[in-house]
Copies of this chain bind each other. A is one copy, B any other.
Amino acid sequence: MHKLLVLYPPPVDPAAFSAHYENQHLPLVRQLPGLLGWRYSLRVHAEPESPYFAVFEAEFADADAYAAAMASPQGVAVREDVPNYATGGALVLDYPVAEA
């Protein structure tokens, strides 16, 4: 399994981020080919303070499936939408999973 993990530092306008994210961005995410599962949170906690406002994670069968999804028209549409809400930036990580 290969994972995508996106970490969002605090945006300028958290309410605008959340509305755009759930109403505009996630519908684009759902169309990614090869997406096996995904989930997100707009309530990220850390002590003393979280450097990230939101997190998104998704699973793909392997690195090739992840790369194909990102290179697809749907992947391009997802990436092109990010600047529309992620005013604090976005850290995009991916990794092969080692499991128990």
Contact = CB atoms under 8 A, between A and B. Distances in A.
Contacts of A5: 5, 55
A28 B7 CA distance: 27
| A interface SS class | strand
A55 B96 CA distance: 11
Interface residues of A, number: 32
B42 A93 contact: no
Given A5-B55, A55-B5, A45 B95 contact: yes
A73 interface: no
A45 B70 CA distance: 14
Contacts of A40: 97-98
Contact of A97 (B3, B39, B96, B100): B39
